[in-house]
Chains A and B, each alone.
Chain A
Amino acid sequence: DTGVSQDPRHKITKRGQNVTFRCDPISEHNRLYWYRQTLGQGPEFLTYFQNEAQLEKSRLLSDRFSAERPKGSFSTLEIQRTEQGDSAMYLCASSSIGTGDTQYFGPGTRLTVL
């Protein structure tokens, strides 16, 4: 069990560019979550995968955001045409029923949009 990993840890981009983040969950976990966190706030739910199926997506998520989890393993979160308001920490978590659905978080990817 090596924990949840995220790549990159930091990303600086210019407004209008596309960015993609990767999350590798704990290997035996079939549930994967993406969150966004801004300074002084708790994480805000973005989307949820069970295996490769995306079962829930926040209505707050604009069409510029898309997430995939091919083969039910790693996941990617893409933001198209980034805006300054997208600057935040993007967190990934994984869980399984076997662990009582305890969510284990990765270190996050900090995005700065200039």
Chain B
Amino acid sequence: KQEVTQIPAALSVPEGENLVLNCSFTDSAIYNLQWFRQDPGKGLTSLLLIQSSQREQTSGRLNASLDKSSGRSTLYIAASQPGDSATYLCAVYAGGFKTIFGAGTRLFVKA
């Protein structure tokens, strides 16, 4: 059974700091991994999707990496801003049409 874990559960950093969010999954047989952002009380916004054949994806200040063999993905946020404050979720699609989410990392960027 696929399980997804995100560490840390919460993170508070000063503005301008570079940071890394971690996501681990138990079954390496995945098709893709997606990172989302969720603001309080809102739906999810897709940030990056990494196919199983890829090692990383970049969008602006965000870089996501995938290491299937070790069951890990990281989301790197460069030069963090107060507007980056949100919950970040990773999700694994492992076939069978199911997507499994982690519980998320709540990020607070202090001005």
Contact = CB atoms under 8 A, between A and B. Distances in A.
A85 interface: no
Contacts of A45: 98-100
A35 B91 CA distance: 12
Nearest to B32: A101
A15 B19 CA distance: 44
B34 to A, nearest CB: 7
Given A48-B98, A102-B34, A41 B103 contact: yes
Contacts of A50: 97
A98 interface: no
A42 B102 contact: yes
A42 B89 contact: yes
Nearest to B9: A40
Contacts of A44: 101
Contact of B51 (A100, A103, A106): A100
B45 interface: yes
Interface residues of A, number: 26
Q: Report which residue of B31, B101, B103 has the largest number of chain A beta carbons within 10 angstroms of its beta carbon.
A: B101
Contacts of B4: 42
Contacts of A100: 32, 49, 51
Contact of B46 (A33, A42, A103): A103
Contacts of A104: 46
Interface string B1-36: 000100000000000000000000000000110101
Given A58-B98, A101-B32, 20 more contacts: A33-B99, A40-B103, A42-B4, A42-B89, A42-B104, A43-B89, A43-B91, A44-B101, A45-B98, A45-B99, A55-B97, A91-B44, A101-B49, A101-B93, A102-B34, A104-B46, A105-B43, A105-B45, A107-B42, A108-B42
Interface of A: 4, 33, 35, 40-45, 48, 50, 55-56, 58, 91, 93, 100-108, 110
